[in-house]
Amino acid sequence: MKYLGKLKIFNQTYEYTSRFLLIRKPIQGLLLFFICIKEKIDCNSSIAINKIKIIIRGESLMIRFFAISRSYKLLDVVNYNYVFFSIFAVMLSFFKQKPYLKDLLSGDYIDIHSHLLPGIDDGAKTLSDTVRLIGSLEKIGVSQFITTPHISHYIWNNSPKKIQDNHTETSKLLTGENITKPFLAAAEYFMDDWFEKHFKNEKLLTLKDNYVLVEMSYMNAPIQLYQILFDLQVAGYKPVLAHPERYLFYHKNFIEYERLKKAGCLFQLNLLAVAGYYGEEIAKISEQLLKNGMYDFTGTDVHHDNHIAAFEQRVKINSTEELKKIISNNQFFKF
Ligand SMILES: [Fe+2]
């Protein structure tokens, strides 16, 4: 049985193994094992150590509370058992902590939104950035990915050929770096007047089949948005709107999200939104969209190391079951 950790509380040092807990402190030990099984974590992991520290601290505080209450005769008229179980219930609810974002990916996640091709947009700048980011994505549980450089005529004037050439060259160089995991390249299209003309004449880079990733300005929607969405579908494409939660101008006008869905738009959640990376307001809207079953897919939208680091955060939302469902929807893009 492995060593669990050392904890100093009120001048007393505790050294725990999971066996010690089960034999000498069975309630805490069983509670720990129950939590570990429920949350699917190793009883000997650092997460388990932190949880047992919380349990022991809570217990110590309770003992102090009873001692002080007795000395001041505060609890003379109150049923001790009732108070004890109330506090225990509060402690239990505290243990129901939200999961870490990376733990929701569980090793077989298919990412459909990232900026990993070197020197082509605001994502990876060099091949070493690409190598590092791909390695990090694998560590957090991404098994396959379709990277999506921006195509925004007035800012990142990439063409499908430029992206495909970069993808071919990068794949070769990555093989030289012993990274053989295959990955695909598509694009994230910015919806503007140029895009409106472009897809009528040129073939788009799609995520799979006719699914095309689109975005718009964070300041405002294009005036002709619904015309673009209509024409795009007439041209045979299915629009997947990237990070709808990040368009602040829709937050106080939630009905617009419903209008977009009715107009045939699929929604792709940026996973970092639920970890609060873009702020509390965006996390709240993502929860609202989740609860309303409006998301279809998810993406990491990883550009740099800070994005990777945010996967170490716990999610800030309560709708984790809905979140797991749309994470698993990405299996549709498996190649
Ligand atoms: Fe993006």
In this predicted model, what pLDDT tens digit does every residue of 85-109 receive, in sequence order? 666 666 665 566 789 999 999 889 9
Instruction: Decide: 163 and 149 in contact? Cβ < 8 Å.
Output: yes
Q: How many CB atoms lie within 10 A of CB 189?
A: 28
pLDDT score recorded for residue 79: 55
pLDDT score recorded for residue 18: 60
How far is the centre of ligand 1, averaged over its atoms, from the C-alpha of 257 (Å)?
Answer: 19
Window from 58-62, 207-211, 263-267 with minimum mean pLDDT: 58-62
pTM of the model: 0.74
How far is the centre of ligand 1, averaged over its atoms, from the C-alpha of 114 (Å)?
Answer: 6
How far is the centre of ligand 1, averaged over its atoms, from the C-alpha of 121 (Å)?
Answer: 10
How far is the centre of ligand 1, averaged over its atoms, from the C-alpha of 51 (Å)?
Answer: 36
pLDDT band at residue 178 under the 50/70/90 scheme: confident
Query: Is the pLDDT confidence value at 116 over 70?
Result: yes
β-partners of residue 267 are 241
How far is the centre of ligand 1, averaged over its atoms, from the C-alpha of 54 (Å)?
Answer: 39
Q: Dump pLDDT digits (tens) for 31-63.
A: 777 777 766 666 666 667 677 777 777 777 776
pLDDT band at residue 1 under the 50/70/90 scheme: very low
Give the separation between CA 92 and CA 38, rounded to whole angstroms.
13
Torsion angle of C-alpha atoms 132, 134, 139, 140, degrees rounded to 10: 120
User: Which domains does the chain show, CATH number per domain?
Assistant: 3-95 (no CATH), 101-333 (3.20.20.140)
pLDDT score recorded for residue 9: 47
How far is the centre of ligand 1, averaged over its atoms, from the C-alpha of 103 (Å)?
Answer: 22
Query: Is the pLDDT confidence value at 177 over 60?
Result: yes
- What is the enclosing helix (H) or strand (E) of 256? helix 255-262
pLDDT band at residue 232 under the 50/70/90 scheme: very high
Query: Is the pLDDT confidence value at 77 over 70?
Result: no
Give the separation between CA 207 and CA 194, rounded to whole angstroms.
20
Query: Is the pLDDT confidence value at 72 over 70?
Result: no
How far is the centre of ligand 1, averaged over its atoms, from the C-alpha of 213 (Å)?
Answer: 9
